[in-house]
């Protein structure tokens, strides 16, 4: 019996079988959790998500369309969960977006970021964690756990990461404030700062291949991470094994964040 047996929760952000969310779901399902899934609206996105989830061995998966920037979509998803299940135990927020035109390594690109690009990145990448938590906490009467996905570019300036780095910094701060706010309700809120992985969103960042090569050379473990390592860390944080942890940014990056050069 896995350590997530009897637990149920929502996993957002599965685009394909290379996304962080997919690896997290893989670990959760292996440990016995029942996972519910959202996908971007549209038949193509539903089909893509369904195929990825079925690879995990989940038959007839629970799927719901959701544009995280749309409050009506958020309400519909959480109202449906409440109607069908009543409660959940965990939430996985794996959603981020910034216009890739502004994720280039060219000098001056970040400084010239337009207001709309900046606010959209902040809304989708950071505010949505708070928006989901606000709706989710009422479905956790006995407590629960939430995680989001970040990256080292939230803490240090990474060429090409630009406005996404600012949004991820806001996501990490949001994690701490949610943890403070929801702690009295026995709801834990954490964030995983994963190393670079070849996901759809990561490939939009300028110079991403160079980032992978640099990390492999410089990280204390002299290698890049795997999606499965992030998935297992997420399962730990979402389970009772992580019961003493909240408000934390946990690094799964082969130690890269600990070095100076």
Catalytic amino acids? 151, 161
| 155: CB partners within 8 A, 6+ apart | 169, 172, 193, 257
Cα separation, 106 vs 104, whole angstroms = 6
| 75: CB partners within 8 A, 6+ apart | 135
Provide the 8-state DSSP code for 258: G
What Å distances lie between residue 211 and 157, 169, 229, CA to CA? 13, 19, 19
Contact in structure between 110 and 166 (CB atoms under 8 Å): no
φ/ψ of 210, rounded to 5, equals -65, -35
Picking from 77, 94, 105, the residue whose alpha carbon sits closest to that of residue 25 is: 94
**How many other β-carbons are positioned within 10 Å of the β-carbon of residue 6?**
10
Cα separation, 86 vs 30, whole angstroms = 23
Cα separation, 69 vs 231, whole angstroms = 25
Provide the 8-state DSSP code for 196: P
């Amino acid at each position: 019996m896995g350590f997530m047996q009897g637990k149920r929760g929502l996993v957002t952000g599965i685009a394909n079988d290379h996304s962080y969310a997919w690896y997290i779901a893989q670990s959760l399902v292996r440990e016995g959790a029942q996972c519910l899934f959202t996908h971007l609206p549209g038949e193509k996105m539903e089909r893509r998500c369904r195929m990825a989830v079925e690879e995990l061995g989940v038959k007839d998966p629970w799927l719901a369309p959701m544009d995280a920037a749309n409050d009506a979509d958020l309400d519909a998803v959480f109202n449906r969960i409440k109607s069908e299940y009543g409660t959940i135990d965990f939430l996985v927020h794996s959603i981020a977006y910034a216009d890739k035109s502004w994720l280039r390594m060219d000098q001056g690109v970040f400084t010239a970021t337009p207001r709309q690009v900046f606010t959209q990145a902040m809304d989708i990448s950071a505010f949505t964690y708070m928006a989901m938590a606000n709706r989710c906490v009422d479905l956790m009467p006995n407590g629960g756990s939430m995680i989001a996905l970040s990256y080292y570019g939230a803490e240090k300036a990474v060429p090409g990461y630009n406005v996404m780095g600012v949004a991820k910094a806001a996501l990490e701060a949001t994690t701490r404030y949610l943890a403070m706010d929801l702690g009295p309700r026995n709801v834990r809120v954490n964030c995983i700062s994963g190393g670079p992985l070849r996901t759809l969103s990561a490939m939009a960042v300028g110079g991403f291949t160079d980032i992978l090569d640099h990390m492999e050379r410089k990280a204390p473990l002299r290698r890049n991470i795997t999606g499965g390592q992030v998935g297992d860390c997420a399962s730990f944080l979402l389970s009772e094994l992580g019961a003493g942890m909240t408000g934390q940014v946990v690094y799964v990056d082969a130690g890269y964040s600990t070095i100076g050069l």
